[in-house]
Homo-oligomer: A and B are copies of this chain.
């Protein structure tokens, strides 16, 4: 039925999920990061229905994750390009990718080897760090004034 929306939620995670938290949106952003820009390419790479792709692209453009620009080659053509807001999803995508690689590795295939252009070295494992740059887990954090929406506790 109708997926609930969280536009007005006071939780920024819920608001973020409202924009890119459905099945396709993040995959579209991912492929845009790979360099995909055209409607037909998204469609073929993702195997997504055209009407759904239309809808998702339009919503991503509405939310300023993508921008639609004319690219006058061949038939009527457009390109969908990441905005700064869209590129800023890079840590989210990388965190998801690393989680997937760690906990659900492909049985046959090695994880994607992402490297930094400047050093030629693999990208580091993404982690949450404290002010001193030390990695921390969910057990290390707390909310000062216990102002957690709908809950009373502070960590797991």
A144 at the binding interface (Cβ < 8 Å)? yes
A31: B residues at CB distance < 8 A: 150-151
A76 at the binding interface (Cβ < 8 Å)? no
Number of residues from A at the complex interface, CB < 8 A: 97
CB distance from A29 to the nearest CB of B (A): 10
CB distance from A40 to the nearest CB of B (A): 12
Say whether B92 contacts A92, CB under 8 Å: yes
Give the interface segment out of A54-62, A67-75, A113-121. A113-121
Other-chain residue from B99, B101, B124 in contact with A92 (beta carbon distance below 8 A):
B99
Binding site for B on A (CB under 8 A): 3-4, 10-17, 19, 21-23, 26-27, 30-36, 41, 44-48, 64, 81-82, 85, 87-106, 108-109, 111-119, 121-124, 126-134, 136-145, 147-156
Given A116-B131, A126-B127, output 12 extra A-B contacts at Cβ < 8 Å. A12-B96, A12-B111, A16-B96, A16-B100, A31-B150, A34-B151, A82-B156, A94-B128, A112-B148, A119-B130, A119-B131, A126-B128
